[in-house]
Structure 1
Amino acid sequence: MIWNTMMGTSILSIPWGIKQAGFTTGVVILFLMGLLTLYCCYRVVKSRGAIPFTDTLTWEFPDVCQYYFGSFGRWSSLLFSMMSLVGAMIVYWVLMSNFLFNTGKFIYNYVHHVNVTDIGLSTNGSDKVICPTTGDTPPSNQTVDLTLGNRTDFQQFQMWWSKTDTVPLYLIIVLLPLLNFRSPSFFAKFNVLGTVSVLYLVSLITYKATRLGFYFNFRWNEIGEYFVPDFRLSFPQLTGILTLAFFIHNCIITLLKNNRNPENNIRDLSVAYLLVGLTYMYVGVMVFGSFPSPPLAKECIQQNFLDNFPSNDILSFVARIFLLFQMMTVYPLLGYLVRVQLLGHVFGSIYPGVFHVLGLNIAVVGVGVLMARFYPNIGGIIRFSGAACGLAFVFVYPCLIHMIALYRSQQLRWYSVIIHVSIIVLGVGNLVAQFLM
């Protein structure tokens, strides 16, 4: 359950993050961030038990923050929780626009027998990999070589089926009504789609890697632009992504609350983090390592690695279909959590009125549409939102609460202060570094 909940859209940006950090540095950072976030999550789970003379069985982590920090803890935890949820919904909207665009493009080209060539360098063979753009600009997925079909109709299709101009608006028709449901129980039934999507992605990556092979060359003088660096100064971009990739701290108490054997909570949490870390490591290393040799450089790896496969790749088309339907069922669940936390705190009711709910949903959807239109960079969105919400829930609050609890019980030691203050400093540095890279 924890593995299924934690696995999300960040998995698509892990290979790009490793590219930004350098291969060796990226692998080490992924391992260390997994351990660090696991420890902080452990501190969250243990935070209720340190409160004396109070029944905390029904408490969530924001309640613990309110106990220690008063109204500031309550409202600040709400703010950062909203940042994580809304940030996830924005990433979902950008990705759903991407998947819907590529799905529609594949279907149109197949039905109308249109043969097109994607912009940019590419490899040859049946397992083609493309470099649609250079740098970190999202790929436009435009087409240039029209060999079959009616050119006028194709141009009309491109005008009405644009990744940034029209497709994000089409999603409103489907998703905005779904956000207004009173209960998310219907969408919760499709939670298994998340597991199926991740398993299919892993299978796709394994198949492509066996077909493409691996390419590494760490000797700069011999290989020039195809050199694979061990370290890059832009490594904080990966730490920002991983903060959100391993983020489950605001709901871990809820997930473990109904565990049949509560004494196994820490074991289950550790196993879940191990599985998530291994999944991220496998995806990141396999995609990075199997990315082809010249004429393509590792720098071509996109923020969404599926964009490195051409629009007519059938296996990638199936992956996008899986992910699109999964996200369309998870998106209303995220919207429900936003409604519960925000309206519940402000109005004391999760459904104070139809206009309150509709206004909130329009605002959230509007932000997603604007980001999909003007800043469709999922890597950037993930790392900024991850570093921001992680500052409070991953680094600051768990460490401060633990030190305060030790101080009140007269068990606080100097080495514990150094360790936990250092973790807080790392969290602050992680956020600041996102604006410098």
Structure 2
Amino acid sequence: MGMSGLALRAGILGMAVAGLAACTAAPEPDDAGADAAFTRAVPLPLPVTASAAQPDLAASPDGSWLLGWIEPVADPAGDGVPAGHRLRFSRATPGRDWSPPRTIAEGDDWFLNWADTPHLYALADGSLWAHWLRSTGPSRLDYGIELVRSGDDGATWSSPQLVHLVDSPGDHGFVSFWPQGDGALGIAWLDSRQKAAAGQTGHDDGHHGGGAPMMLRAAVYEGTAPAQVSEWPLDTSTCDCCTTDAAVTDRGAVVVYRGRSDGEIRDTRIVRLENGAWTVPRDVHSDGWMMPGCPVNGPVVEARGNTVWVAWYTQADGAPEVRIARSDDAGDRFGAPVAVAKGPHVLGRASIALAGEHVLVGWLEETDTQRLRLARFDARLRSPPHKLDVATLAVRGRGSGVPRLAVQGDEARMVWTDVVDGKPVLRGATIR
């Protein structure tokens, strides 16, 4: 995990690093040819003027963009301590500015974390779904997933409900969403019920080897007051605190995550929901990365038809690296991985999106400054990628959180967190 298990769970909203993000249009020479698509980054104005962090970005089925974020509730006592936090969102339709921000929920008992962030999602029936993390106590690392739905474009939201077992102590998070039909939502998450059953809670017990493992679970929710209609255990031994991701193939939804096998091997795995049952977990690639702790650097996935692309972070060869691999059979088998970026400067925290016949992969690097970078591959991963700098950040380390990438038509957008005057702020870029 680096630093300590306690440091992992520190909220990003209190970070104090000064700086200002800057977008750049300087591409890196490569063999991508004359195709100029997705080779230029320009600043994207966002509808967030206050201090904010933990952004989410989603491409809606209706062609609009959805942006979500967390911001502190105003401090009534004037002592600099927020009275709570709120989850807000805005929508941008093609050719129009962002809508005025709306609040999804707010509270004074939320669990905030730089890597385990809320998500906002739109289904084809027009419904919006969102989640955040709420402290459930008594331990500091007892927290759960609150899920809500809106059927009126976010004007009102359903009563929040915990996705996991109400009386289950420990941590539950690192959520992924996918459409399970027009009006049903699929959700996967990491669940600590096995650790709780063994008398362990939080990442301080058994996180660095030994002890009961975390598990990956999934469920389907549907209805205007959403109810859980199915739930499954997908893998009984996973990394404690790496992000998960999901996509939909013609053969069913796939979920990618970081596994944890004997000898503390922490490679990327994939499962698929097909004909009402989940496949046995399999490695995307057997990197053989032995890591006696959670790297907080999960995989990302995209799919079209039965073609699946997965990008992930590893140090299996001794140096930090982001890799990508392609499957043509809905994730049953993957070709040899291709290096996206490699070297001691690579932080990872990958993102991925499909853009026509291109695959876009974003990641973070850090030397004397931190940079957000983007690689444009052809869909078959055959040609060397075109690479460009999206932004140079003032923040260092974890303060930039997990950048988000999404595509609508011939436009890609990225959002991330930087820090200005000691406070987190959101920044964005359009890539054309």
Structure showing greater relative contact order (alpha-carbon pairs closer than 8 Å, 6 or more residues apart): 1
Larger Rg: 1
TM range (shorter): under 0.3
Greater strand content:
2
TM-score by length of 1: 0.20
Name the structure where helix makes up a greater proportion of residues: 1
